[in-house]
Amino acid sequence: MGRRKLVVGNWKMNGLKAQLGEVEDIGALAARHPAVEVGLCLPATLIAPAQGVKGAAFIGAQDCHMHGSGAHTGCLSAAMLAEAGAGWTIVGHSERRQDQGETDADVAAKALAAKAAGLKVILCVGESLDVRDAGHAESVVSAQLLASLPEGAAADWLAIAYEPIWAIGTGRIPTMEAVEAMHRALRAALATKIGAEADGMRILYGGSMNGDNAAELLAIGDVDGGLVGGASLTAAKFAPVIAAAC
């Protein structure tokens, strides 16, 4: 299909200026693997400081607000993040859906706000263990994707990340067959909404990808990269994931 692999680290609530050396080293890794698009979604406090050391990696944010301004204490608009130097943002991460009660409509609105500010977007979807065990994972996650998909969704500014919620940070992952089936189902769901554009949309895997399993996961046909948590916090741990995407 010719989709360039996209490997993005999500540092979550980790990282101080003392860790900018890791950002610099990951940027150097990205330069050595130009076939892979590499990025880091950092805490907002590190987006501006990272600009001088990011090398060939792009810097992204972990969330944005759906409004451009207003009485939203503690929130950051997409324009603010872009001004700080972010080129991408995550929206709809399961930790925000669960902890902050974000709805599919909220996620779609955030994606549109990000696009309006010139940011590219990684839109996250995923299922709980109960849904997986009940045998409804593919239908539930496909429905969540379609309900979260913004108007004008296109492969040049939007990527999807499938994150089985029960696998995040646990070291557990679905079987390779289950990952393949889910990514295939998500691409089919996208096609019902955006037609042939779905062929170019990158769908990332986002549940405990690391140096030990990345090669096997990234070899699956509809897995176009990874949204990587703990394994992206250091260049040493992130390096084999990036290499596996080549």
**Binding site feature residues for substrate:** 10-12, 169, 208, 229-230
Q: Where are the beta strands (DSSP E) in 101-211?
A: 120-125, 158-162, 203-205
- Cα 122 to Cα 105: distance, rounded to the nearest angstrom: 15
Q: Of 142, 147, 111, 105, whose CA–CA distance to 126 is shortest?
A: 142
Q: Is the dihedral of CA 138, 144, 150, 151 positive or negative?
A: positive
Summarize the annotated binding site as residue ranges: 10-12, 169, 208, 229-230
84: β partners: none
Q: Give catalytic residue positions.
A: 93, 163
H/E run at residue 90: strand 88-91
**Burial status of residue 102 (CB atoms within 10 A of its CB: 0-12, 13-18, 19 or more):** buried
